[in-house]
Structure 1
């Protein structure tokens, strides 16, 4: 799933297909090294304590940035029919460094979030037959035998509820951070300006006072306005929704629609599924499912 997401990011988001196979391999290797250290080395402080790992990280980051600089230069100098994320940055009021930094963030986080959302959505659909049946009926009604278009995707309201509930139940991003741009106050405590605030999203997303039966996978939570308002305030929908997650919703909708139109997704019996909480939640082991053809 991670390989699928990485290919999608390079093709549809960065506007590059990497004709050279070695360049693909190098990009994937650099991508994996950088993300691994961001998810671990910076969080636990171990990167600065290991000279070899730090050197590998710096070399991988330089390689990743070099590739992205090449893509940015191509998009600036070419006349492409397909508009990509890179094009939006290039055409905006940003300097070279800002374009590069945003490209790095999107290519890293966008890829990982997309891959994990796809994985978790499929997992929860295999464990909830009623949800899968209801989603298939919506996909069949909206898409029919025609192609998937952006207009039809907008009509898949229950699919969006399924993805929202997937993000909540899996605690897809269990922690986030924001720099306090003004002085704030929580009870008797004053939060100075420019303080780094950590949001314990993994706790908030399963707070029983907000989400009844919080560990139950129930997309109908988002059929009503209250659930949507809470989700929007956390950055998972609405005007605060992060670009990487918006991309992940789109890709996962297409993937799930294609799969469910043709296949029934079934769980593998007696196989455990343990969550691994990092910057983006993953499974500790490979996720296995079985499928059967729809008639």
Structure 2
């Protein structure tokens, strides 16, 4: 039913030995403490479904078995790491590929570019450089799109409810598509069409991605495959158009200047647009939601923006000076568990604490568990940007891959867009939480509110 459906096709060739298959009651992932498979074919799938999501399953798994624990995807053992110290031991020897990108590509069934570690490093560097250069070259466009949204909010009556999810997903879609694929997506009709397929794809691979229901529904699977095919066709056609125009200003242009194949270019565009839209939207949604709950944090951020920027718009060179804004975004990522799960394939045999992790083992990074671990974070469920004034908090955050050299490029992109948004919104408006509304987290590949999140805004008086 689900044989390796989640990490097929990339991981399907890696099979568990036949001997282990014959003795399900005594199996362990290389002696690592954890769960036996509850079903010979599906492993611990039903346990995950019963918990509601993989994140919630991992929370209970690590509570029972500690920071290094094992379970089963189908007939395959998986190791999960749920503490900073153990993640640090594993990440450092396995940094040649990005764990979030690895997971997303495998869910999509992408295999190209598997020529070895050297090729992976080169391709990763190209991907990251392309995103960084695209942001720098198109920063005025980001400013323009943000100002259009903030201007719309300024026109609202103060009592009007503002839907963060709808508005900020729209902002993210416009920003990512235009910066990734060019001016063709300055047409709202193109963005709406793109969003339709984007939503159909992400809803299947991002909503917990392990309930197996897609494999059981031919209609849903057909809808997903049609959307994926249409999206791939759009990306391939954009690449051909841009190549003939020989422009070099957006993400796809940088890839076209490389030695990547047409298929590899399409795949990298797919990953950036899929993940970039969702991560950017949800970072912005959660940041404004948390700001609306704290007038004190808003005022402190406002003062920093005034001190650093004055009345000028934010610029690329000024962003590093906005240290408190960075703390607000860091704390947003931590409190919302923005990306609660990542994964890597164990390229060579490794060791975490006393546990040996065999080559070709799938290793889950239970980031959502670690981000709210009371041993790492003081009062972990409280939104408190001031915690990142401490060196220990910044170091832990960096070790988890949310800052520094190991930050996934889509998150770096999202931080830049979110910084532009906060610099504009907070200097012009005050954000107010609706009484009685509490935004609950839906922990998927990227955490999102379970329901639409509403705020009200009022104009900030000049001082």
Q: When the two structures are superposed, what TM-score results if normalisation uses the length of structure 1?
A: 0.94
2:262 is matched with: 96
Superposed displacement of residue 249, structure 1: 0.3
Partner of 1:28: 195
Deviates more, 1:149-158 or 1:52-61: 149-158
State the SS of the aligned residue for 2:432.
strand
What corresponds to 1:63 in structure 2?
230
| The one of 121, 140, 158 aligned to 2:287 | 121
The within-5 A match list for 1:117-196 is 117-196=283-362
Report the CA distance shift for 1:277/1:19 in structure 2 as closer, same or farther (over 3 A).
closer
Q: Among residues 435, 444, 452, which one is paired with 1:269 in the alignment?
A: 435
1: CA distance between counterparts of 2:207 and 2:307? 44
Q: How far off is 1:216 after superposition?
A: 1.2
Q: CA deviation at 1:45?
A: 1.2
- 1:172-227 superposed Cα distances (whole Å, 9 cap, x missing partner): 11111111112112344321112211111111001111111111111122223222
Residue 41 of structure 1 contacts residue 47 of structure 1 at CA under 8 Å; is this kept in 2? no
Task: Identify which range, 187-196 or 259-268, moves more after superposition.
Answer: 187-196
Correspondence 1:284 to 2:450: yes
Whether the 8 Å CA contact 2:275–2:410 is kept in 1: the answer is yes
Equivalent residue of 1:43, what SS? coil
Q: What pairs with 1:243-254 in structure 2 (closer than 5 Å)? A: 243-254=409-420
Find 1:231's aligned residue among 397, 400, 423.
397
Tell me whether 1:50 sits opposite 2:217 in the alignment: yes
Does the C-alpha gap of structure 1 residues 44 and 218 become closer, same or farther in structure 2, counting only changes over 3 Å? Answer: same
Residue 19 of structure 1, CA deviation? 5.9
Alignment CA distance shift 1:262-1:275 (3 Å):
same
Q: Choose 222-231 or 65-74, whichever is displaced more.
A: 222-231
CA distance in 1, matches of 2:208, 2:391: 40
Change over 3 Å in CA distance of 1:211–1:52 after alignment to 2: same
Partner of 1:7: 174
1:78, CA displacement in angstroms?
2.1
Deviation at 1:22, TM superposition (A): 4.5
Shift of the alpha carbon at 1:16? Answer: 3.5
CA deviation vs aligned residue, 1:5-56 (integer Å, no higher than 9, x gap): 1111111222243366554332111111001011138421111111111111
Distance 1:226 1:41, change over 3 A: closer
Report the Cα distance in structure 1 between the residues aligned to 2:284 and 2:276, rounded to whole angstroms: 12
Instruction: Summarize deviations over 1:94-151 as a string: whole Å, max 9, x none.
Output: 2222221111111001100100000000011111221111101011111211222111
Structure 2: distance between partners of 1:234 and 1:93 = 32
Of 19-28 and 117-126, more deviation after overlay is shown by 19-28
Query: 1: CA distance between counterparts of 2:343 and 2:390?
Result: 28
Q: Is the 8 A contact 1:16 1:71 kept in 2?
A: no
User: Structure 1 residues 242 and 19 mapped into 2: Cα distance closer, same or farther (>3 Å)?
Assistant: closer
The alignment covers a number of residue pairs equal to: 294
Q: Could you tell me whether the CA contact under 8 Å between 1:177 and 1:196 is conserved in 2? A: yes
CA RMSD of aligned residues (A): 1.7
> What is the rounded CA distance, in whole Å, between the counterparts of 2:256 and 2:382 in structure 1?
43
TM-score by length of 2: 0.61
Q: Structure with the greater relative contact order (CA < 8 A, sep ≥ 6): 1 or 2?
A: 2
Is this contact kept in 2: 1:27–1:63, CA < 8 A? no
1:275–1:20: structure 2 CA closer, same or farther, 3 Å change rule? closer
- Other-structure match for 2:377: 211
Structure 1 pair 190/88, CA: closer, same or farther in 2 (3 Å)? same
Larger Rg: 2
Q: Distance in 2 between matches of 1:89 and 1:286?
A: 36
